[in-house]
């Protein structure tokens, strides 16, 4: 059976991406995994970290891959199992314990200020009623936090003499400063991301931007609501 071209296209890497990667002498890769997982809602499909790393290691000039992801002490068994999956790929895992930050239930959790001013008084009253009911419920909301910007920066600076290029999987503007330092050292900068999730500062400093959705060739698990098999749209 012939596979439709539009399906094949989803698993083909753009030629200019391949050329840029292959033209570099020694690449070190840095994966900010929490940042990457947020890309799934934009892509409308999920990916396997093992497939991503396996694909990267097919390039002989990619010499080292570092993955940054937190340890959930509240679900240690599953957290360590996921970490072991990463380690088995041959990538280097950097981890530390996640923190859980209590969040106060208030309007800002649901709406930005510029959105709130669009509502009339009746709608605002109903929003306040909802907030009051949620506050009375005693529900505790905690936001997991485990930022690796410092660790990634330190690793990049430690690795600078070992590489000729860096491939960063992150859209965080905080990574601009270490990339600028690498640029001064005449290192080539590749940034991998998805539409709307990469800071403008990174676009300004990069030598090559790679759209993750047109680079990743591994297994894709389509989000149910978007899967044509479940009545969604591709």
Phi, psi of 113 (to 5 degrees): -60, -40
- Read off the tokens for 142: 């905690």
Model confidence over 69-99: pLDDT tens digits?
A: 999 888 899 999 999 999 999 999 999 988 8
Same domain, 202 and 127: no
Mean pLDDT for the stretch of residues 198-204: 94
Domain interval for residue 29: 10-98+146-221
Q: Are residues 65 and 168 in the same domain?
A: yes
Strand ordering across the sheet containing 208-211: 92-94, 62-68, 27-32, 165-169, 188-193, 208-211
Residues 108 and 90 both lie in one domain:
no
Mean pLDDT across the stretch 212-220? 93
Residue 5 pLDDT greater than 60, yes or no: no
Transcribe the chain into DSSP letters. -PPPHHHHHTT---HHHHHHHHH-SSEEEEEEHHHHHTHHHHHTEEE-HHHHHHHHHTSTTEEEEEEE--B-GGGHHHHHHHHHHHHHTTPEEE--B-EEEEE---GGGT--HHHHTTS-HHHHHHHHHHHHHHHHHT--EEEEE---HHHHHHHHHHHGGG-SEEEEE---GGGHHHHHHHHHTT-EEEEEE-TT-S-HHHHHH-SEEEEGGGT--S-EEE-GGG-GGGT---
Q: What integer pLDDT is reported at residue 214 of this predicted model?
A: 93
Asked if residue 156 and residue 125 are part of one domain, the reply reads no
- What band does 224 get if pLDDT is binned at 50, 70 and 90? low
More reliable by pLDDT, 5 or 52: 52
**pLDDT, tens digit, 9 for 90 and up, residues 139-175:** 777 776 778 999 999 999 999 999 999 999 999 999 9
Verify that 133 and 56 share a domain, yes or no.
no
35/132 same-domain check: no
Task: Report the number of distinct structural domains present in the chain.
Answer: 2
Of 111, 142, 173, the position where a domain reaches its end is: 142
- Are 77 and 180 contained in the same domain? yes
Q: What is the CATH number of the domain that holds 80?
A: 3.40.50.1010
Q: How does pLDDT run across 34-49, given as a tens digit for each residue? A: 889 989 989 999 999 9
Query: What is d(CA 89, CA 96) in angstroms, rounded to the nearest whole number?
Result: 19
Closest CA to 147 of 228, 68, 66, 86: 68
Burial class, 212, CB count within 10 angstroms (exposed 0-12 / middle 13-18 / buried 19+):
buried
């Amino acid at each position: 059976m012939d596979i439709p071209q539009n399906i094949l296209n989803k698993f083909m890497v753009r030629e200019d991406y391949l050329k840029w990667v292959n033209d570099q002498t020694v690449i070190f890769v840095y994966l900010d995994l929490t940042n990457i997982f947020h890309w799934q809602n934009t892509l409308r499909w999920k990916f396997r970290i093992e497939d991503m790393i396996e694909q990267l290691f097919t390039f002989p000039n990619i010499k080292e891959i570092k993955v940054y992801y937190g340890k959930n002490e509240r679900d240690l068994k599953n957290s360590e199992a996921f970490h072991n999956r990463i380690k088995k790929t041959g990538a280097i895992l950097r981890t530390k314990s996640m923190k859980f930050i209590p969040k106060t239930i208030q309007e800002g959790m649901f709406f930005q200020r510029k959105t709130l001013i669009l509502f009339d008084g009746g709608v605002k009253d109903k929003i306040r009623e909802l907030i009051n009911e949620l506050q009375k419920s005693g529900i505790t909301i905690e936001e997991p936090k485990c930022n690796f910007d410092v660790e990634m920066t330190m690793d990049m600076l430690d690795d600078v003499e070992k590489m000729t290029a860096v491939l960063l999987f992150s859209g965080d503007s905080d990574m601009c400063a270490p990339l600028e330092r690498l640029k001064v050292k005449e290192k080539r900068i590749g940034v991998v991301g998805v539409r709307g999730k990469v800071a403008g500062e990174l676009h300004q400093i990069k030598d090559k931007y790679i759209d993750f959705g047109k680079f990743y060739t591994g297994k894709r698990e389509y989000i149910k609501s978007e899967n044509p098999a479940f009545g969604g749209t591709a």
